Amino acid sequence: MSHDGVDEQLRLAEREALEARAGYMLRNKIIENVLTVDPILQAIHSGSRATSAEEYVSTPDTGDFLLTSSRRLLPLINERDVLAMLQSSMAEDLSATIAELASTEQSLNALNQKNQDLAQTLFALIDQTQPPSVEEVDDPTVRTQIETLDTEVRESKRLWRLTKSIVANVVVGSGVNWAQDEALQELVLDDEDGIW
């Protein structure tokens, strides 16, 4: 077979493939349109497939019986209207909730700012009421006395905690029902940090 004959057969095969593809796409488009449009047409104009259970009305000009389209569409229209009202109500609720959220966020921001201002005021007051530290005392004699007293207080606290722990352990270890005696219970469970 010659080169020209092969080219001619190739062009013929391409043309047949394009025609087959066009026919296939046209057939699919027709089927899709029939499946989409037919239920709408049946809802508005009754066809030959109407059942005897459906209601008919007589048209004055032709005497033909047509399905009352409003009767078939009315439930769907009612359902659509109910859904539209529900959607509108939900949109209003959402809008009100968003407005309330924005208002609450503004209030929260204002309260946070007020809280920060109050905290700064509190820190300033704490700084004002703090006794001067040992380093701030100018008189060396007074400073030495304060340091000595501070050392003595720390030593007294340490001894007191040690003594209290020993007494509490003796009471607990003695087997006495200290939980029933209020004085012993206070002694064992007493919070030493609250005292010092």
Residue 20 lies in a domain: no
Residue 185 lies in a domain: yes
DSSP state of 136: G
- Whether the pLDDT of residue 143 is over 90: the answer is no
Q: Which of 49, 55, 94, 92 is nearest to 73 (CA)?
A: 55
Q: In the chain, pLDDT over 70 holds for what percent of residues?
A: 77
Is 173 a member of any domain? yes
Handedness of CA 14, 15, 18, 20 (dihedral sign): negative
Burial status of residue 36 (CB atoms within 10 A of its CB: 0-12, 13-18, 19 or more): exposed
What CA–CA distance (Å, rounded) separates 95 from 74?
Answer: 31
Query: Is 168 part of any domain?
Result: yes
* Residue 130 domain-assigned (yes or no): no
Would you say residue 195 has pLDDT above 70? no
Each residue's pLDDT tens digit, 84-117? 999 999 999 999 999 999 999 999 999 999 999 9
Span 137-153, average pLDDT? 84
Question: What's the CA gap between 182 and 194, in Å, rounded?
Answer: 18
Tokens linked to 89: 């109500």
CA 170 to chain centre: 57
Which residue type, as a one-letter code, is found at position 129? T
CA separation for the pair 144, 146 (Å, rounded): 5
**pLDDT tier at 8 (50, 70, 90 boundaries)?**
confident
Which structure tokens are listed for 119? 């905290």
- Beta strand ranges found along the chain (DSSP E): 56-58, 65-67
C-beta separation of 43 from 72 below 8 A? yes
Name the domain count of the chain. 1
Contact in structure between 41 and 47 (CB atoms under 8 Å) = yes
| 171 within some domain | yes
Tokens of 134: 């040992």
74 within a domain of the structure (yes/no): no
| Domain assignment of residue 163, given as a range | 137-196
Q: Is residue 84 included in any domain, yes or no?
A: no
3-state secondary structure 4-55: HHHHHHHHHHHHHHHHHHHHHHHHHHHHHHHHHHHHHHHHHCCCCCCCCCCC
